[in-house]
Amino acid sequence: MDLAGNPSMVSTTQVAATGGEHNPELARSIYIRGASSRHGQTTSTAVISLITTKAEYPASKSFCLYLQPVDRSMASKVELVVEVKSSAEKLWTALRDSTELFPKIFPEQYKSIETVEGDGKSAGTVRLLKYAEGVPLVTFAKEKVEVADDEKKVVSYSVVDGELVSFYTKFKVTVQVTPSTKDGADGGAVVNWTMNFDKASEQVPDPDVIKETADKTFHDLDEYLLKN
Q: What is the pTM of this model?
A: 0.67
pLDDT at 73: 58
111-126 pLDDT, tens digit per residue, is: 999 999 999 999 999 9
* Calpha distance 168→158 (Å, rounded): 11
Which range (47-56, 86-95, 102-111) has the least confidence?
47-56
Query: What integer is the mean pLDDT of 65-76?
Result: 54
90 and 195 fall within a common domain: yes
149-204 pLDDT, tens digit per residue, is: 999 999 999 999 999 999 999 999 999 999 998 766 568 999 999 999 999 999 99
What CA–CA distances, in Å, run from 92 to 6, 10, 128, 156, 171?
Answer: 37, 47, 21, 13, 22
pLDDT at 136: 83
* Calpha distance 126→146 (Å, rounded): 10
* Calpha distance 37→41 (Å, rounded): 9
112 and 186 fall within a common domain: yes
203 and 144 fall within a common domain: yes
Query: What integer is the mean pLDDT of 26-31?
Result: 38
**Strand ranges inside the chain, DSSP E:** 44-49, 62-67, 75-84, 110-117, 126-131, 140-149, 154-162, 168-179, 189-199
90 and 141 fall within a common domain: yes
What range does the domain containing 56 cover?
A: 1-71
Phi then psi dihedrals of residue 39, to 5 deg: -110, 5
Residue 93's CATH number: 3.30.530.20
pLDDT of 212 > 90? The answer is yes
**DSSP-derived 3-state class of residue 179:** strand
Among 35, 50, 71, give the residue marking a domain's end.
Answer: 71
What total number of domains does the chain contain? 2
